[in-house]
Structure 1
Amino acid sequence: MESLSQHTKKLLEEIAKSSGEKQENNEFSSSSISVSNLTSGIEFLYEKIRNALEYREEHLWLKDAVFRILKRRFFEILAKEKIGREIIEELIRGRYLENDHYPESKAFEVEDILKKYREVFEAFENNSKLEEKKNSQLEEWFLSLAALEIVDLFPKNKTDRVFINYFWNVMKETTVASQEILGEEFDQQLYLAVFRNFFKADESMEQYELFRIKYPEWFSNPNELIQKFGKILPRLKQNLEKSLKYGLRQELDRIMKRRSLFIFMLQDLISQEKERSFEILDNPELLEQKLKEIYDTHYEKGREKLQTSSVRAIVFIILTKMLLLFAIEVPFQSWYDGKINYFILGFNTLIPPLVLIISSLIIKMPGEEQNFLKIVTEFERMLRYSQDLPPLDVIRTKKQRSLPTRIVLWLIYGLNVVFTGWLLQKLFVFLKFNFVDAIIFILFLSLISFFAIRLRKTANQLAAVEEKDHLVSVLVEFFFFPIIEIGKWISRGVSALNITAFVFDFLIETPFKTMIQVLEEWFNFIKERRQNL
């Protein structure tokens, strides 16, 4: 039996060292930032409602909340107002951060981050010759990087990056790629693939991580870069976006999604066993027993996540559908048809969530026994990898299709679109839909199809054995493919143009948050007066 690889041994040493530093830091605690439980309860309820308006993964909520705060208080940032502590307090009230946990020095760290971004904004305003709208878009984009840098001050697990670097090094050794692919760009893209699959990162998180890689001095000695960024901000954004459009991105993601389970289970094992980690990892029998415990826990969490994601998708569909029902469908029917057709309204309102409910019930988690045995085998290979063993994954350049092949494929796709459209048109004529009812039905059918695909991907996050395609599922996906593509496009558009979220952010949030802040100050004043009695 091979011994643990050098990368695995180094990982265990770094984790042990990090744990020792954590214990030392805990001995030196200062006064911490705290808020009233009453204001926290009120704001937490608001944040739950606000987050329900967008179909966003829960791990993105903290980042989104910080970004909303920075956008709302952008002019205060430009005016050099000290709002670092208020930002942390607002995040604590929303229960994104723990109450009475973070030292007051964190507020100064937030201020330092805002200061350097503000100076870039000032330099950009002085140098920019772009129109006002483009300036605002660039400033908002750069502000999203500031939000992520602030989030980095509050890591849930300080060893995450240690695991990412370890996983990256393991993947470099266990993955073979053709010579024309290998190089600095491939290594960077492999790292980004590890990062986005470990953190389930969205585009802004990826851009920030690439920004960290390309400009490390921004995080240690930013003064030299402030004027530079002020001059090249449009080009900086363009370069980061271009770097993420890598030709083999999908191929890397396909591999990482299957391998990510290894690093999550290893992280859990080390976190739970601590000093015994080396002993367990070095003993195949003990390792298999422990992996079974961890796998069962992940399996249950995966099942719960699937149920939660299904409920959130259904709630999102129902809320959006009810909004359109009263804002568009009922008024249009009254005007266009001269009457309200309750059958069509009921059909259009009930069928989309009903189809999504049925889809969520059909989607199953991967089979346990065969899946677990495959996980154990691959886990062992990644822990003890040596050059004598064959690679786990092979990456090849994407095969370019010939022009005739591309033409034939596009013709088939076009015929598929026409056939799907013809079927829907016959359905609408039979049900006597007007064109607005038809458009809304297609939009929601597309969204539901896209959400169903997303839910199936959630269910397959624990899959080590690739699922086999069945003829029926292939045919259904083939005919629904145009609708799924529309759903993908709509989901992005809904995120960008969520009217309800816009109303919350610009009409409700500012006065509400101001009221909460005043209430917090009042409680602090009462507390001070009580102490002086």
Structure 2
Amino acid sequence: MAVKSSGCFGPGVQSSEDMNPAVRELVKQLSLGKAVATDGEGDTGGPIDHIARVYEVARNALEYRAEHLVRRAAIERILKRQLVFESDTRRLSESLLLELKWAKYVTWESSRPAVVEEIKKIFDKYFVQLKSPAVDREWLVGLISAEIEEYLNPSKDYYKFTNFAFHCLKKALVSQGLANFDLILYTAIDKIYSQSDNQQLAYHLFRLISNQSGKSDHKVTDQILAETYNHTRQAINSPQLNRVAVAVRKLVGPLVLVRDIYFSGPEEFAQIINDEKMFKERAGQVLAGQLALLRGRMSTAGMRSLIYVFLTKMLFALILEIPVDRWIRGEVAWGTLAVNTLFPVGLMWSLTANIKLPDTRNQERLVLKAWEVVSRDDLSWVGGEQVHLLGETLNLKTKIFYTVYMVLGMAVFAGITVTLVRSGFSLVSSVIFLFFVTVVSFFAYRIRQTAKIYTVKSGRGLGSSLGDMLMLPIVTVGSWLSRGVAKLNFLVFVFDFVLEAPFKMILRVMDNWFDFLSRKKDEVVG
């Protein structure tokens, strides 16, 4: 697209008609800083709030979850418990908001009647289906929690960028032999670009299906819910999802930067995207700020991963290792115990400490591509041509590669095991060591992937290829173990099904008591 240099537009300034149509449509939907809902001023709270917050911090340490997903998960957890005892939607709404305020997930201003009424409407919308045996109740509660979270989120514009990204990537990616490509592509974008979890994905699909069916998402039918459930399961269980997600992750950087620019100054966004010089200056500033924040986020993610692994897996494994060593050897091998305790910490640090963020040249390329996304209705931002996604064919070459990969994986684990045994590790200690190494490596790999979100294209040298060749089997096993063992989280069971209900009842009694004392004090003072 040509940039206007004469007429009513100055140098580097373009008409909105010349803009990427997807951006024009996005601008129409955005609030642009007008009437954006806020969550009110913070409140220091009383003793109940502090006790509840400490409990939530301890509970959240038992699950590895991105920070922006913590409140949604808390809403789901609270709803699962409250729905057992409560059927009145107004009392359910009030109780939910009260617990969220205790834990400082929302401010005290969010208790105003209008908020209670809106959340009540959400419950009313789904209440018939919640009682239906034909509906997966756990899945539906997750969907409801995602809708409530989105309502409580002061940033109403965030998920409007998902459709924008889908439009851009749908033109850039071509499917060959991939069934249900649009569904899988939308899922990959929602999970990578919008960083949604499965519950939020289900709600977003529900909203899309409701709109496409001509019915408002305020009207829930069994048919729409069943269709949403089937589409959600089909998408997240698709063997092609990871393949599409890889392609999305490689291309999504410029789209992330466009979104970051908007949230750096929503009221200026419409003006910025019409001026190349202004856009690139703002993009450079925003990108520098995001990269500075990214380093801190990676350190925090690494620490939270270690705490999660220690509390939910390492602690019980080490408790198991001590009596087994006494039974087999007659004594505790403190050396191997120390290695199994300290090595995962060192491994996480070594894998995350040397993560390279995009250099100056890469940043300049990203800014240019972000401008091309905004200003041109073509594929210049992805190199000028579409990216073809091929369905995997199990030909002779692929079979050979899979065989080599399997042999390599067995060789890597065999080599580690032999080294451990020769170093004095028992079989149990070796298994525990391998378990820690694989799980920690998987979490470290996920953190490293986060650092690549602003990378236009990462080079691959010989050292990188050799490292990937050795680490890939370890990361693959770690991924499988982290998903499987997460279902056997004993401490989560203790917190959710043993401690939380009586704990919250005690907090409610204390809260009522303090309210009573406060009223009496006001009456005495007059």
TM-score tier after normalising by the smaller chain length: 0.7 to 0.9
Secondary structure of 2:30's aligned partner: helix
Structure 2 distance, partners of 1:388, 1:300, is 30
Shift of 1:390: 8.3
1:108 and 2:117 are equivalent in the alignment = yes
Residues 143, 52 of structure 1: CA spacing in aligned structure 2 closer, same or farther, 3 A cutoff?
A: same
Task: Report if the CA contact (8 A) 2:440-2:478 is conserved.
Answer: yes
**Cα distance in structure 1, aligned partners of 2:391 and 2:65:** 34
The amino acid that maps onto 2:158 is: D
Find the residue that maps to 1:158 and give its secondary structure. coil
> How does 1:261-340 map onto structure 2 within 5 Å?
261-320=253-312, 323-324=315-316, 326-340=318-332
Residue segments in structure 1 that go unaligned for 5+ positions in a row: 129-134
Check whether the contact 1:84–1:107 (CA below 8 A) recurs between aligned residues. yes
User: Equivalent residue for 1:488?
Assistant: 479
Say whether 1:214 aligns with 2:206. no
Identity of paired residues, percent? 23
- Of the three residues 23, 34, 40, the one matched with 1:8 is 23
- Residue 161 in 1 paired to residue 159 in 2? yes
SS at match of 1:97: coil
Which of 89-98 and 471-480 deviates more?
471-480
TM-score of the aligned structures, taking structure 2 as reference length: 0.86
Letter in 1 for 2:405: Y
**Contact 1:360 1:455 (8 Å CA) reproduced:** yes
CA distance in 1 between counterparts of 2:259 and 2:139 reads 33
Aligned partners of 1:450 and 1:415: how far apart in 2? 20
Aligned to 2:6: none
Report the alpha carbon displacement of residue 78 of structure 1 after superposing the two structures with TM: 4.5
> 2:123 and 2:430 mapped to 1: Cα distance?
48
| Contact preservation (8 Å) 1:262, 1:379 | yes
Question: Could you tell me which residue of structure 1 aligns to residue 10 of structure 2?
Answer: none
Q: Secondary structure at the match of 1:396?
A: strand
Aligned to 1:515: 506
Q: Distance in 1 between matches of 2:450 and 2:187?
A: 21
**How many Å apart are 1:61 and its aligned residue?**
0.5
Confirm whether residue 256 of structure 1 aligns to residue 248 of structure 2: yes
Partner of 2:442: 450
Q: Which amino acid aligns with 1:73?
A: Q
Equivalent of 1:177 in 165, 174, 177:
174
> Counterpart amino acid of 1:433?
F
> Distance between the aligned counterparts of 1:35 and 1:526, measured in 2?
19
Matched residue, 1:56:
65
Quote the Cα distance in structure 1 between the aligned partners of 2:44 and 2:379: 58
Bigger mean CA deviation after superposition, 301-310 or 198-207: 198-207
Query: How large is the Cα RMSD of the aligned pairs?
Result: 3.1
Tell me by how many angstroms 1:74 deviates: 2.5
CA displacement at 1:280 relative to structure 2: 2.8
Deviations 1:323-367 (A, max 9, x none): 225530111111222211111211221212122222222222222
Residue-by-residue CA offset, 1:76-103 (whole Å, 9 max, x unaligned): 2457682211101111221222232453
Q: Secondary structure at the match of 2:513?
A: helix
Letter in 2 for 1:210: L
SS at match of 2:350: helix
Cα distance in 1 between the residues matched to 2:441 and 2:125: 44
Q: CA deviation at 1:157?
A: 0.7
With the length of structure 1 as denominator, give the TM-score of the two structures. 0.85
How far apart in 1 are the matches of 2:229 and 2:283?
Answer: 43
Corresponding position: 1:145 with 2:140: no
Report the Cα offset of residue 308 of structure 1: 0.8
Tell me by how many angstroms 1:147 deviates. 1.5
Partner SS, residue 386 of structure 2: strand
Task: Report the equivalent of 1:473.
Answer: 464
CA distance in 2: counterparts of 1:275 and 1:80, whole angstroms: 38
Counterparts of 2:320 and 2:368, CA distance in 1: 56
Higher deviation after alignment, 210-219 or 88-97: 210-219
Residue 178 of structure 1, CA deviation: 5.7
After TM superposition, give the deviation of residue 199 of structure 1 in Å: 2.3
Question: What is the aligned length?
Answer: 505
Contact 1:33 1:103 in 2 (8 A): no
Shift of 1:382: 0.6
Counterpart of 1:524?
Answer: 515
Residue of structure 2 aligned with 1:498, choices 477, 486, 489: 489
Q: Match of 1:215, SS?
A: helix
After TM superposition, list the pairs within 5 Å mapping 1:416-431 onto structure 2. 416-431=408-423
User: Which residue pairs with 1:192 in the alignment?
Assistant: 187
More helix by share: 1
